[in-house]
Amino acid sequence: MTDCRLKSHPILDIPAASEFDFTFDGQTIRAKRGEVISSALFAAGIKIFGHHQRDGAPQGIFCANGQCSQCMVIADGKPVKACMTLAAPGMMVSSCEGMPELPHKDAPVAFRTVETIETDILIIGGGPSGLRAAIELGQHNIKTLLIDDKMTLGGKLTLQTHAFFGSIDDCFAGTRGHEIGQILAGMVAKQESVEVFTGATAVGVFADKRVGIQHGSRYVLVSPKAILVATGAREKSLAFPGCDLPGVYGAGAFQTLVNRDLVRPTDRLFIVGGGNVGLIAAYHAIQAGIQVVGLVEALPKCGGYKVHLDKILRLGVPVWTSHTVLRAFGKTEVNAVEMAAIDERFRTIDGTSRKIDVDTVLIAVGLAGLDELYKMAKRAGIPVLASGDAKEIAEASAAMFSGRLAGRKLLEMLGKPTFVPETWEPLMATLQSKPGMTNIEKPKPQNALVYPVIRCYEEIPCNPCTQVCPHNSIRLKGDEITSLPELAGECTGCGRCVSICPGLAITLVMEDYDDAKQSALVIMPCELDSAPFLRNRIVTTTDLEGRAVGEGRVIAVRKSPVLDRRDLLMVEVPFEQRLEVAGFMVQQPSQDFERAPEEADGDIIVCRCERITKREIAREIRNGARDMNQLKARLRTGMGACGGKTCTELIERIFKEEGVPLDDVTAPTERPLLAEVPLSVLACMDEDDE
DSSP, residue by residue, 552-582: EEEEEEEE-SSSTT-EEEEEEEEGGGTTT--
Terminal alpha carbon distance of the chain: 35
CA atoms within 13 A on the CB side of 456: 32
Rg (CA), the chain: 26
Per-residue pLDDT, 308: 96
Q: How many CB atoms lie within 10 A of CB 132?
A: 25
CA 383 to chain centroid: 30
> How many residues can be counted in the chain?
690
- Least Cα distance to 207 among 664, 623, 672 occurs for 672
- The CATH 3.50.50.60 portion of the chain extends over 115-233+370-431, 241-365
What pLDDT, in 10s, does the model give residues 474-490?
999 998 999 999 999 99
Q: Is the pLDDT of residue 446 over 60?
A: yes
Q: Is the pLDDT of residue 687 over 60?
A: no
Per-residue pLDDT, 104: 73
- Least Cα distance to 264 among 8, 611, 549 occurs for 8
CATH of domain 115-233+370-431: 3.50.50.60
What pLDDT, in 10s, does the model give residues 570-599?
999 999 999 999 999 999 876 666 666 666
Strands (E), 8-133: 19-24, 27-32, 50-51, 58-59, 72-75, 78-81, 92-97, 115-124
Q: Is 411 helix (H, G, I), strand (E, B) or coil?
A: helix
What pLDDT, in 10s, does the model give residues 346-405?
999 999 999 999 999 999 999 999 999 999 999 999 999 999 999 999 989 999 999 999
- Candidate CATH numbers 3.40.50.300, 3.40.50.1970, 3.50.50.60, 3.40.50.720; the one for domain 241-365: 3.50.50.60
Q: Is the pLDDT of residue 146 over 80?
A: yes
CATH of domain 1-102: 3.10.20.440
Supply the mean pLDDT for the chain: 92
Higher pLDDT, 514 or 181: 181
Mean pLDDT of 247-274: 96
Query: What CA–CA distance (Å, rounded) separates 287 from 241?
Result: 30
The CATH T-level fold of domain 603-690 is: Arc Repressor Mutant, subunit A (1.10.10)
Angle between helices 276-287 and 306-315 (to 10 degrees): 30
Per-residue pLDDT, 388: 95
Q: What is the pTM of this model?
A: 0.94
Query: What CA–CA distance (Å, rounded) separates 264 from 55?
Result: 30
Residue 603's Cβ-count burial label (10 Å; 0-12, 13-18, 19+) is: exposed
Query: What CA–CA distance (Å, rounded) separates 681 from 214?
Result: 7
Strand partners for 72: 81
Residue 430 to residues 166, 267, 475, Cα–Cα distance (Å)? 9, 39, 18
- The CATH 1.10.10 portion of the chain extends over 603-690
User: Between vectors from CA 549 to CA 548 and to CA 555, what angle results, nearest 5°?
Assistant: 110
Query: What CA–CA distance (Å, rounded) separates 685 from 145?
Result: 24
Per-residue pLDDT, 156: 93
Q: Is the pLDDT of residue 653 over 80?
A: yes
- The CATH 3.10.20.440 portion of the chain extends over 1-102
Per-residue pLDDT, 504: 96
Backbone angles phi, psi at 78, to 5 degrees: -115, 140
CA 268 to chain centroid: 19
360-363: strand order across its sheet: 248-250, 360-363, 268-272, 291-297, 319-321
